[in-house]
Amino acid sequence: MTTEPESKSLLERISALLTPSPSSPTEQRRELLETLKEAQAEGLIDADALSMIEGVFQVSELSARDILIPRAQIDWIDINESVEDTIAEVIRAAHSRFPVYENNRDNVIGILLAKDLLRHSQEEDFQLRDWLRPAVFIPESKRLSVLLKDFREHRNHIAIVVDEYGGVAGLVTIEDVLEQIVGDIEDEHDTDDIEDNIIKVSEIKFRIRGITELDQVNEALGTTFVDEDNDTLAGFILKKLGRVPHKGESITIGNILFEVQRADARQVHVLLATKLEID
């Protein structure tokens, strides 16, 4: 007579979870993640691998509305602007792709690649309209897993998100989707040096990295924020909200309005702090 082992090995539990069962997909994912966390605790996989797996599951549950860049934060190009003004805007914003509209921002007529503008703008018969790439429109409800597949299959990097009335709600880039899996992707225009943690945009606005220590924030903003549990601004904000905020969300603490400019599923990376006038 054989007896059943009291506890299955970690590999056996993972295999069982990957085998179809009557339990719901959500329940299976939860159980699988719990098992993988045990594997990480036992040193079988590293923390980065576990984080990426969690990000993959996150992507399967999120939709475009959860990570879009709101229309108010988009760097737009007006087709009726002069070439000189368009070049100045492209250089200022330092993006590689821009949505182009005509007459109003709900009428997106294409996507401008900065390389096309800079490469051909000196041609004698240059017309911006001739160099626009087709814009891809998606609903707010589109799942990120499906969107990522579309990005890969069609070699597209940007999608315009429209609301239920057909108006532009925002945009999503392939980088935004990938950051949900691998975390923040720094590019050549992101701040890397410690001395660039706080950038003064104007007399009342400051661009601040989430990893900035609260002491630095207090010195720059003239505030007295204190948090016994967190040393950084990101940790301070997360504790106040009780969750990780989405890009575009804002919170007012004291006389400072914090707006999340960059974030992924796990942490806040960049915030815009605005000093408010208190009556």
Q: Is the pLDDT of residue 2 over 60?
A: no
Give the whole-angstrom CA distance, residue 149 versus residue 178: 11
Q: What pLDDT does residue 107 have? A: 96
What distance separates the 2 farthest-apart alpha carbons in the chain? 90
pLDDT category at 27 given cuts 50, 70, 90 is: confident
What is the pLDDT at residue 39?
A: 76
Residue 193: what pLDDT?
46
Q: Which CATH class is domain 66-182?
A: alpha beta
State residue 264's pLDDT score. 67
pLDDT confidence of 5, banded at 50, 70, 90? very low
Q: What is the pLDDT confidence band of residue 94, given thresholds at 50, 70 and 90?
A: confident
- Specify burial of residue 6 (Cβ count, 10 A radius: 0-12, 13-18, 19+): exposed
Res. 7: pLDDT tops 60: no
202/102: higher pLDDT: 102
Comparison of pLDDT for 17 and 62, the residue scoring more: 62
Dump pLDDT digits (tens) for 254-279: 999 999 887 766 678 888 999 998 65
Query: 194-275, which class in CATH?
Result: alpha beta
pLDDT of residue 25: 65
The proportion of the chain whose per-residue pLDDT surpasses 90, expressed as a percent, equals 37
Phi, psi of 113 (to 5 degrees): -90, 130
Per-residue pLDDT of 176-213, as tens digits, reads 888 777 766 555 444 444 456 888 878 898 989 888 99
Which pLDDT band, with edges at 50, 70 and 90, does 170 fall under? very high
Which whole number is the average pLDDT over 69-97?
A: 90
| Nearest alpha-carbon partner for 187 in 202, 176, 171 | 176
pTM for the whole thing?
0.58
- In this prediction, residue 133 carries a pLDDT of 95
β-bridge pairing 137-139 and 69-70: unpaired
What pLDDT does residue 184 have? 60
* pLDDT band (50, 70, 90) for residue 162: very high
Check pLDDT > 50 for residue 6: no
- Is the pLDDT reported for residue 249 higher than 80? yes
Q: Is the pLDDT of residue 52 over 50?
A: yes
Find tokens 């609903």 and name the residue: 139
Domain range list for the chain: 17-61, 66-182, 194-275
**pLDDT of the residue at 131:** 94
Question: Distance between CA 174 and CA 178 in Å, rounded?
Answer: 6
At residue 35, the pLDDT reads 80
- With 70 as the cut, is the pLDDT of residue 116 above it? yes
Residues 6+ apart with CB under 8 A from 33: 53, 54, 57
Mean pLDDT, the chain, rounded, equals: 82
Which pLDDT belongs to residue 137? 96
